[in-house]
Structure 1
Amino acid sequence: MVKALSVAERLEKAVSDYLLWMISNGYADSTSMRYQQILTYFSRFIIQRAIPWDVVFTFDTLKDFQKESGLILASHAVRGLSRYLFKQNRIKRPIEKPVQPLPEVYEEYLNYYIRVKDISRLQMLRTRRTLTAFGDYLDKNSIVLKTVRIEQIDAFLAAYNRNYVKGTCGTYRSILRGFLAWLHQNRILKRNFAPLIIGAPVFAQSIPPKFLRPDEIRRLFESLTGTTALELRTAAMICLGFYIGLRPKEISRIRLDDIKFKKQEICIPDRKNTNPARLPLPDRCIKAVAAYIMGGRPATDNRRLFITVRVPYRPVLPVTVSKDIAGAMKKAGLSSAAYWLRHTYAQNLLEADVSFFEIKEMMGHDSIQTTQRYLHVHTKLMREVLFDDDAF
């Protein structure tokens, strides 16, 4: 019969394995040494207090350790160890700060949101915080959720968004729209208030979407040197945005298995219109993706195409895609953003006499109205400055 390891033995092995994992994944020596020091103190703390294994990696234990040791930054090392052990199935859950549970319907929506959306921890926390504030507002004003009115929702948003910039206000409106739409779909609300949650940006929709002109496209592609892993990754992202019009979120979700190099096509399984798409990959796009995989993508078991350039290696987020593309555009002297590539792709399709319906499907729009808004441009300007025979 195999003797069960003591807490001290399990912790010693866990720390040793974790430090070896850090070294093998390219962490700086200074970081590994600092973590080793902190985790040594942590081990002594656990052993001296005879803390049982199932309580070692809890928020309260971490808080007590920080208070006694005075190591305010100790949480990085201890949380990192807990995440490693959780991924190895050696503990039930990593250390997480306890959150105040919301009423059942809110928690049910959050569970649905986590299940169907590929979101970061920050997005989840922001969503929970917004719904907590909305629930508190309803309670404070004695409003029952299923009888809420649009003017009450507007009043909440006016108060909640008072001190935030326009972009942040838009994020919080979007979070609430998602929740209200889900409530209507599940017949908790009789009316769908989501389309009524609008802000100032909506009134600018009559302005034509911005796109890149041929000379700007040339400048952008000529500036892509591809000498570093980051530059190779960015070049592949730009090609996917320009040549097949993918959104930053769609680019971030591409898996290695989605790319069929022999067939020169890519599968996009999850689009806004819920229809999976198979799109042809032009030669330049194929070459950019292949160059990144061979020369810039870190060695990892993760099947996502685009991976962070620094350890710990993990899939990039949509915001990283937008930021990298915008950075490359700025380097090329362009005052533009990632979505301009998508707009330009749509305009190219239109000029090539592709039908609105086909453009809608290729863009992954859920309605023809969205496509029409994308293509709300001045035709004369299009003919003069956007297309020429030598364009990419």
Structure 2
Amino acid sequence: MARGVRRTASDPPYDRVVTDAEPTDRTAELPEPMARVLGDYERHLRSERDVAPLTVKAYLGDVTGLLDHAHRLGLTEVAGLDLRTLRSWLARQQSMGRSRTTLSRRATSARVFTAWLARTGRVAADPGSALGSPKPHQTLPDVLRADEARALIEAAIEQAADGGPIGLRDVAMLELLYATGMRVGELVGIDVDDVDRDRNVVRVFGKGRKERTVPFGHPAAAALDRWRSTGRPLLAVEGSGAALFLGARGKRVDQRTVRTVVHRLLAAVPGAPDLGPHGLRHTAATHLLEGGADLRSVQELLGHASLATTQRYTHVTTDRLRRAYQQAHPRA
């Protein structure tokens, strides 16, 4: 199967599925010059940047909203975009009650778009280079305790006791997600030959199609062996290609299926928070740091471009330590 199937990981600034992007049904109402530029931008995202489909939709939704706002202010071409127009668009978003996180993301969308306009000569200067944005509130991610993570895997193993291929697949996916902290888009993009069982490592393609090699432990290795030898052959069809994880119809499993599996099995763990695959990524990072791993190693494992992104997990571990201290120390 062509490597193009790997286009599932999100591209900055969208790390997850975006559900609050500007609606794109206003494209037909834009002046023809703006609509034409928007079409060129879409082709740029899909063909040149190789951005994931959901991310393309989110970018275009935000940019369509920006151009619609500019048109309402009297502009008919993108050459008229300036910093004042960008700021008034964000101010309108704020007046509509958009969250700081949404405003920050839309400001990023605008900056990426105007940088492309300047780079391709469609504007004389980049108006977005001076556009600020509110910093989103930093919230601590929910994570599983170590015992809850074990209970999750045990729930999957119990389900797989009937010997069906779906159960074996689910155990292998959960073991690999928790063992590596990889993104769900990276998981579904893995091919069979990306797994090196001699060294117990797997090759994944992250944001921006950056390749990295991630280690996994013996439980994940055993689950992968059972899936590859017993489960996958029962689901494989002519169109399965090289995909490691398959859906019920034999095609490469999709992200929605993985999310459904994680939510369903976590529901069987008493007291566990309702997390998706990204929650398992947070959990893996937190448990690594709690176990003594250094930040640089965790950064490399997770594929974070910036160490600052990894440092957020130190807040989780510190918060846990503080709660334990307050509960246990007589003079807390």
**Shared fold (TM-score greater than 0.5)?**
yes
**Structure-2 residue corresponding to 1:245:** 181
1:335 aligns to 2:270 (yes or no)? no
- Superposed CA RMSD: 3.5
- Within 2, Cα distance between the matches of 1:194 and 1:355? 35
**Structure-2 residue corresponding to 1:139:** 71
Select which of 299, 305, 314 maps to 1:360. 299
Residue identity opposite 1:336 in structure 2 = D
Alpha-carbon distance change, 185 to 134 in structure 1, aligned in 2, over 3 angstroms: closer
Q: Give the structure with higher Rg (CA).
A: 1
Select which of 203, 213, 236 maps to 1:298. 236
- Within 2, Cα distance between the matches of 1:107 and 1:242? 40
1:103 aligns to 2:38 (yes or no)? no
Identity between Structure 1 and Structure 2 (%) = 21
1:277 aligns to 2:212 (yes or no)? yes
Select which of 298, 303, 312 maps to 1:373. 312
1:154 aligns to 2:87 (yes or no)? no
**Structure-1 residue corresponding to 2:153:** 221
Specify which structure has the bigger relative contact order, considering alpha-carbon pairs within 8 angstroms and separated by 6 or more residues: 2
Q: Is the CA contact (8 Å cut-off) linking 1:307 and 1:315 kept in structure 2?
A: yes
**Structure-1 residue corresponding to 2:223:** 288
Alpha-carbon distance change, 346 to 286 in structure 1, aligned in 2, over 3 angstroms: same
Q: Is the CA contact (8 Å cut-off) linking 1:272 and 1:365 kept in structure 2?
A: no
**Structure-2 residue corresponding to 1:348:** 287
- Within 2, Cα distance between the matches of 1:234 and 1:192? 45
Deviation of 1:274 (Å): 6.2
Q: Is the CA contact (8 Å cut-off) linking 1:255 and 1:305 kept in structure 2?
A: yes
Residue identity opposite 1:324 in structure 2 = V
Alpha-carbon distance change, 127 to 184 in structure 1, aligned in 2, over 3 angstroms: closer
> What SS does the corresponding residue of 1:103 show, helix, strand or coil?
helix
Deviation of 1:376 (Å): 1.1
Gaps (5+ residues) in structure 2? 1-26, 325-332
Gaps (5+ residues) in structure 1? 1-98, 386-392
- Within 1, Cα distance between the matches of 2:269 and 2:93? 39
Select which of 243, 255, 266 maps to 2:202. 266
Alpha-carbon distance change, 209 to 183 in structure 1, aligned in 2, over 3 angstroms: same
Deviation of 1:178 (Å): 3.7
TM-score, normalising length: structure 2: 0.68
Alpha-carbon distance change, 290 to 382 in structure 1, aligned in 2, over 3 angstroms: farther
State the aligned residue count.
273
Deviation of 1:367 (Å): 0.8
Alpha-carbon distance change, 127 to 356 in structure 1, aligned in 2, over 3 angstroms: closer
Deviation of 1:329 (Å): 0.9
- Within 2, Cα distance between the matches of 1:336 and 1:215? 15
Q: Is the CA contact (8 Å cut-off) linking 2:143 and 2:283 kept in structure 1?
A: yes
Alpha-carbon distance change, 359 to 325 in structure 1, aligned in 2, over 3 angstroms: same
Deviation of 1:127 (Å): 4.9
Alpha-carbon distance change, 131 to 304 in structure 1, aligned in 2, over 3 angstroms: farther
User: Following superposition of structure 1 onto structure 2, how do residues 1-392 of structure 1 map, counting pairs within 5 Å?
Assistant: 103-115=35-47, 116-117=49-50, 119-120=52-53, 124=56, 127-143=59-75, 145=78, 146-149=81-84, 150-158=86-94, 170=102, 174=105, 177-178=108-109, 180-184=111-115, 187=118, 189-192=126-129, 196=133, 202-203=136-137, 205=138, 207-224=139-156, 225-226=159-160, 227=162, 228-268=164-204, 270-272=205-207, 275-293=210-228, 294-296=230-232, 297-299=235-237, 300-310=239-249, 313-333=250-270, 334-337=272-275, 338-379=277-318, 381-382=320-321
**Structure-1 residue corresponding to 2:10:** none
